[in-house]
Amino acid sequence: MTSTEVYKDLAKRLRRTDLLLLRAVRRQRARPAMREKGGFWGSLITDNEVDSLLQHHGEYDTPLGPDGLDAAIAATAALRDATGGRFDKLRQAFQLNGDDTDLILLALAPEISSGYGKIFSYLNDNLNQAYLTSDLASRVLRSGRTERLALTSRLMRSAPLIKNRLLLLSPDEGVEAFSGRRVAVAPRVLRWLLDGEELPQTAGFQPLETAGDLLIPQSTQQRLAELKNSLEKPNTYVVVGATDGAREAVAIRIAQLCKKPIVQVDLEKCTAYLQQPFDLIRELYLSNAIPYLINTIEAQDEPSQRVQLAALGNALSSLRGPVLVGAADRRTVKGLLGKDRPSITITTGKTQLEERELAWNAAFQTRGWDPSKAMDLAERFYSISGTTIERVLERASAESGGDEPSIDQLWAAAREGSRPEFRGLAQHVIPRFSWDDLILADKIQGQLHHLVHYLQHQETIFHRWGAREVRPRGYGIKALFSGPPGTGKTMAAEVIAGELGLDMFRVDLSQVISRWVGETEKNLKQIFDAAEGGVALILFDEADALFGARGDVKQAQDRFANQEVSFLLQRLEVFEGCAVLTTNLQENIDEAFLRRFGAVVEFQMPSPTQRELLWHKAIPREAPKDNDLDIERLAKQFVLAGGSIVNAAINACVLAAHDDTPVAMRHAVRAVGKELVKMGKQVNRVHFGEFYDEVADL
């Protein structure tokens, strides 16, 4: 409907409003007090006017004799209630009766033409009130005292027009008498009516496309089939489990079954809806859409927000259709569910390999791309489902400039599209190292390669060969890397992530561990939930702080510390992702964790041969080297871990650069001495021999 057609439709409906105002003006003019005021109208109250008000119980208007105007007004009800057009859509959406419609048209009139404002000033007997008031509204639409009071109830807080924020009253309650409060059309309704603004200017209110097929696990489809007859009823459906894209696909499928549009409401971005819940209800009625609410966990961090969330839940319970809520766990959204309507849980499971292969293959064929690449993606990114596939392919296509993307571009887009959100609890680490950078014993290298092979072939083993029947929770890997500092534990984790094409996230213990009871467990749960699915490797560096051995309870904090370890034991047991824990002392880790690790790799101090290789790699290739620099002797004489060798090599280069000479043996020896002092070890003649003079002052 064009803007011209909208205005024509409103002009037709406002004919009734014009007649109502004409009747009110005639009544106003029939008052003797109006004739007495003369040129002082609007600024004077006469004695006779007060006497008349007392006589008529505060009523302004004088009843008129029969003049046919009432009959004409009654006849225009058909204009007001005419079907079709944008205004009728508003009426139908909120199921407004005739009085509600008249009130909206009255409030809308001065927004369309300033002439109506002058009429309102005249009727208000106040030049400064060029707007509709609650008292004026009742006088225009009703004549008798009892009828006016009954109409006033349509402007009370619980009435549909006010509750759904179609009309706004100002100032706030208690500031001014109710009869003098201004009645105005909400700006959002005005834009929707006159400007055709279908969607609010809010970042988190997003319509979702409902066309096309969706990748939804068979088990979830069966659950939806069971609920088919109740999906359109006023229930709350909590979609839990899997990834954001998988849950979104289930929500879209429900909208398809209900044959209605759906909007995603991100409560993290739409904080205004927490403050004014019925603004959201108004938008949902205007769009006739099913709401799908996400990111409610962040909205519960503050007590005041929990109260707001409960108020939003109560507002949503007033909707005549279904409400959808997406979350990793139902418990995180319990504050939103309330008790005013039934809430039903729909669990989104994992897709099977065949389902993913069909979905990826169909998406590739639609674009005319090589389907063999789709098979790799289906097998490796087993947590991607729902609406994420289309987003991944759109991102990859954009990266390739519209051409068919390479496998590397597809993998990068898949990682980006499925990257978990840790909300500051973990830091993204870009893997920089390869197998050539790892200088380890063959035994340790073999254990690390086995981890990679496990993750590469788990779909074949657990799905095609049926190992899932033997170990239902076999996906992903949990590994413990132990050994002295600097022996390559963190580097090995980076190599594994890089080899598998995974993102790597290092858990920030300063953000995870909290002194408040229950906060640490909540943060850990958020990390594990986000990393579920194996699209990222999470690294718990220096994991002793979290996974330490439980002890006897001697004071209150001991009991809470033991609770944290017990929670980790339970969560690690069912975790289906990739997690690597590093520790300097395996003895510090609670023994109960060892059974839950798929691999325990003990990193040892490098041998002299390995140390020599490490020294060669650590000294920059372009650094000038003196002839007396004896790498073999450094490796044999000083027992250092790889990390310490790198530090010593860099410090040797610093000393040489300061002397403006090539890197010599004295520089390397002094750098080694600094490194040993830093580690709290003695620097003596036994270790340094003829080079002791270079480090004697350290």
Please say which residue of 347, 372, 394 terminates a domain: 347
Question: Angle formed by the axes of helices 134-141 and 3-29, to 10°?
Answer: 80
Q: What is the DSSP string of 498-553?
A: HHHT-EEEEE-HHHH--SSTTHHHHHHHHHHHHHTTSSEEEEETTTHHHHBPP---
In angstroms, the CA 383 to CA 669 distance is 51
CA Rg, the chain, in Å?
Answer: 37
Residues of the chain with pLDDT under 50: 57-58, 550-561
- In a domain, residue 313? The reply is yes
Structural domain includes residue 597: yes
pLDDT at 555: 47
Distance (Å) of CA 555 to CA 495, 519, 552: 42, 19, 9
Q: In terms of domains, do 612 and 597 share one?
A: no
Per-residue confidence (pLDDT) for residue 1, from 0 to 100: 60
Q: Are residues 393 and 246 in the same domain?
A: no
For residue 522, the domain's CATH number is 3.40.50.300
Domain tally, the chain? 5
Please, are residues 72 and 89 in contact by the beta-carbon 8 Å criterion? no
Tell me, yes or no, whether 425 lies in a domain: no
User: Which is it for the CA torsion 75, 77, 83, 84, positive or negative?
Assistant: positive
DSSP 8-state secondary structure symbol assigned to residue 178: G
Token digits for 664? 């010599």
| Bridge partners (DSSP) listed for residue 324 | 237, 292
Are residues 643 and 485 in contact, defined by beta-carbon separation less than 8 angstroms?
Answer: yes
C-alpha–C-alpha distance, residues 360 and 374, integer Å: 5
Give me 564's structure tokens: 């944290």
Q: Which of 140, 172, 195 is the last residue of a domain?
A: 195
Could you identify the residue written with the tokens 């480090």?
Answer: 695
Q: Is residue 405 located within the same domain as residue 288?
A: no
535 within a domain of the structure (yes/no): yes
Q: What is the pLDDT of residues 447-462, one digit of tens each?
A: 999 999 988 888 788 7
Together in a domain, 537 and 585 = yes
Which CATH number belongs to the domain containing residue 649 in this structure?
1.10.8.60
Q: At which residue do the structure tokens 């066309």 appear? A: 211
Are 323 and 389 members of one domain? no
User: How many residues can be counted in the chain?
Assistant: 698
Confidence (pLDDT) at 381: 79
**Do 343 and 371 lie in a common domain?**
no
Task: Classify residue 426: in a domain, yes or no.
Answer: no
195, 227, 251: which is the final residue of a domain?
195
405 in any annotated domain: yes
Confirm if 486 and 440 have CB atoms less than 8 A apart: no
Q: Spell out the residues 6+ positions from residue 287 whose beta carbon is closer than 8 angstroms to its own.
A: 198, 199, 207, 261, 263
412 in the same domain as 475:
no
Pair of tokens at residue 653:
């280069």
Asked if 205 contacts 270 with a C-beta cutoff of 8 angstroms, the reply is yes
Counting beta carbons within 10 angstroms of the beta carbon of residue 666, is it exposed (0 to 12), middle (13 to 18) or buried (19 or more)? buried
423 located within any domain: no
Q: Order of strands across the sheet with 343-347?
A: 205-208, 262-266, 290-294, 323-327, 236-240, 343-347
Domain range enclosing 622: 608-695
Q: Is 157 exposed, middle or buried (0-12, 13-18, 19+ CB in 10 A)?
A: exposed
Q: At what angle do helices 388-399 and 407-417 cross, to 10 degrees?
A: 130
594 and 624 in a single domain? The answer is: no
Q: Are residues 187 and 263 in the same domain?
A: no
Question: Which residue type, as a one-letter code, is found at position 215?
Answer: L
Pairing of strands 236-240, 323-327: parallel
User: Quick one: 28 and 173 in the same domain?
Assistant: yes
Structure confidence at residue 462 (pLDDT): 78
Structure tokens at 243: 């990834």
Whether residues 568 and 472 fall in one domain: yes
Q: Are 580 and 537 in contact (CB under 8 A)?
A: yes
CA distance 100 to 89: 14
Confidence at residue 107, expressed as pLDDT on a 0 to 100 scale = 94
399 and 446 fall within a common domain:
no
Write the CA distances from 651 to 110, 445, 469, 623, 630, integer angstroms: 78, 29, 55, 12, 16
Asked whether residue 687 is assigned to any structural domain, the reply reads yes
